[in-house]
Amino acid sequence: MRQRKYCTYIIFIISVFIFFMSSPVSYAAIYYIDYSTGNDSNNGLTKTAPWMRCPGMVGFSGNYTHQAGDIFIFKGGVTWPSSTLPLTISYSGSAVSCDLASSISTCDQYTVDYNWYSGSAWSRPVFDGARVQEGIYAYEKSYYIVDNIKIVNNGTPSDSKSGLVVTRPHFVEIKNLYIESGTKLCMNIADGASDNKSTIRIHDSTLKNCFKQLFFNGERTTGTIDDLQIYNMNFAGNNVLVGGESHSNIIHIKGFGPPTRSGYSFTNLKIYNNKVSGNYPYGATAWIFVEEAVDGALIYNNVLGFDNTTDAMSGYMGTGIMVEQGINIKVYNNTISSAGNSNSGKGFSSGIAFTQGANNYDIKNNIIYKTYIGIVMATGCTSCTSDHNLIYLRPGGIYGQDSTGKQYSTWSGWQGAGHDYNGINSDPKFTNITASPFNLKLRLDSPAIKTGYNFRILYQYDALGEARPDAMTWDLGAYQRSNTSLTAPRNIRLGN
């Protein structure tokens, strides 16, 4: 009996072994792509036998089967022409251990190797649309990362092409890109479906010369987009004018109606550490425009300005930060500046504006410099506060408009109505506002130093990674001057 059980056990072990040996077992792989020397007939698994095109590119003819966690390495310094574009991301990674913070395991990656490049030094691989093709397109894919690609020449101002198009993202990270599309949109991200999406990271990239630079269109009636973060972005100017269009914005988050209308909203939205500079001769509705259906947002450490030497428009430039029909919004430690623009009609129209049913918001520690209106509060808003802000207007400006619709042309009147009781009405004394590029860091004699509220429970660093104090008042604006240790430097690649 014992011998029979032993034989049965041996047969079972052998059967299991044969099953696993005969079953196809596939693992994620690293693939290399080099348009200059590659060939799609290669296996793509080594730098010496790369593919010419990536799976998803036009004309790819290689042998490929997707596995969650595949990594595609584009050779630095090499250009992929319009005939290969767009790169269509046709696969999703896996929900199993896709860690966006570490870019590991089963996140699909479209990325680079800094040790693999053409030329004397590493530079980004280039997707050149030749004015006729978009760069990268992804429809309803999840768990993937796009990293360190340069995307240029994707269309003309008269068409609707974009450098990067992403629809219905879910656990997606877009980082370290350089996009100069010369068309209506640099980054066009949309989600109009009635379901829930989560965890979207857009950061450390440079966008330039697009009518709209980063547009997230969430117009739908139900569902939630949770945990969208946009940070460490560099917006470097725009020379594109689209005739008949409105809403030329830098960062534009658009929902559909007020958050309470149908249960749909953006939630846990964060927009921080972004910088806008360079020439914007056509202005914009707002540098940061949060339009409708946002329930919970933190907007902080953004440096919003422009370096215009010439203007192609009449009147004011638009608003630094505008929120329309949003609730539970916190706007802290931003620097909004019309620095160096001597024409009185060319500054920001307002620094921070909440409009059309926005409620429950808090505005603190911001510097608003040389705008016409400092702060606009939504008419009839409840639980709406403004304090510890520095507001220094253009001559003849208005310090604020409160929830009753009343405007205050004197600082004493604004404070007397209960706003910015701990605020400052004085020149912030920036490091340089006399010549472009402007330096909006604080001088050592700035009145904005050590006069702000401490929000360390929400965030710990300024726009450049400078540590904010633990247990003392903060500096106003996006830059912390009262500390000197750079403890968490940002990792943005500002070059092209």
Which tens digits make up the pLDDT trace of 319-361?
999 999 899 999 999 999 988 655 545 788 999 999 988 899 9
Q: pLDDT confidence of 64, banded at 50, 70, 90?
A: very high
Say yes or no: 258 and 336 in one domain.
yes
Q: What contacts 383, CB < 8 A, 6 or more positions away?
A: 359, 360, 361
Q: Is the pLDDT of residue 262 over 90?
A: no
Say yes or no: 305 and 427 in one domain.
yes
Tens digit of pLDDT for each residue in 157-208? 888 899 999 999 999 999 999 999 999 999 999 987 888 999 999 999 999 9
Say yes or no: 71 and 108 in one domain.
yes
Distance of alpha carbon 377 from alpha carbon 238, whole angstroms? 29
Domain final residue, candidates 97, 116, 150: 150
Q: 376, 354 in Cβ contact below 8 A?
A: yes
Is the whole-model pTM more than 0.85?
A: yes
Whether residue 300 lies inside any domain: the answer is yes
Give Dmax over CA atoms of the chain in angstroms.
103
Say yes or no: 309 and 232 in one domain.
yes
Say yes or no: 232 and 374 in one domain.
yes
Domain final residue, candidates 150, 176, 194: 150
Say yes or no: 342 and 455 in one domain.
yes
What backbone torsions phi and psi does residue 360 show, to the nearest 5 degrees? 55, 70
Distance of alpha carbon 273 from alpha carbon 213, whole angstroms? 16
Say yes or no: 138 and 166 in one domain.
no
Q: Tell how far CA 270 is from the center of its chain.
A: 9
Distance of alpha carbon 39 from alpha carbon 21, whole angstroms? 32
Say yes or no: 146 and 214 in one domain.
no
Distance of alpha carbon 3 from alpha carbon 395, whole angstroms? 101
Instruction: Show the domain range for 449.
Output: 154-496
Whether residue 11 lies inside any domain: the answer is no
Distance of alpha carbon 136 from alpha carbon 143, whole angstroms? 16
Per-residue tokens: 303? 């440096």
Say yes or no: 167 and 137 in one domain.
no
Whether residue 315 lies inside any domain: the answer is yes
Whether residue 9 lies inside any domain: the answer is no
Q: pLDDT confidence of 404, banded at 50, 70, 90?
A: very high
Domain count, the chain: 2
Whether residue 226 lies inside any domain: the answer is yes
